[in-house]
Amino acid sequence: MEEKIEISILLSLYGNLLTETQRKYMELYYNEDLSLSEIGDNENITRQAVRTILVKSKKKLQEYEQNLKFMQKEKLIKKLLEQIEKTDINKEQQKITKEISNQLDF
């Protein structure tokens, strides 16, 4: 999985565990595709300060995933749902698997 997409998913899963500033900068960089310089200019801090915050925040998100494994579990559930959908299931079961799939973050 492309790193930016993976970090964006981790941010959606664990972003509320970051500080407000960390979450804001991560959102701007990974989801809104702003550059380090653009974020720095908007926030009146240096490009290097933005980079430092992003590196620390990314490490925290990866640590959360390493310990909690929400993304890994969601991937497995998605894969299992896809396998179920390929079997001979009735309309009500299809509806349930679709609803479960929709409830997952990605």
User: Which DSSP category does 82 fall into?
Assistant: H
pLDDT at 1: 58
CATH number of domain containing 31? 1.10.10.10
Q: Tell me, what DSSP letter sits at residue 18? A: S
**pLDDT at 105 (0 to 100):** 62
Residues 8 and 58 in one domain: yes
Question: For residue 4, what are the contacts with CB-CB under 8 A and spacing of at least 6?
Answer: 30
11 and 49 assigned to the same domain: yes
How much is the pLDDT for 21? 97
- Taking the C-alpha atoms of residue 50 and residue 3, their distance in angstroms, rounded to an integer, is 18
The domain of 91 spans 71-103
pLDDT less than 50: residues of the chain: none
Domain count, the chain: 2
**According to the model, what pLDDT value does residue 26 have?**
98
Instruction: Identify the pLDDT of residue 101.
Output: 86
pLDDT at 15: 97
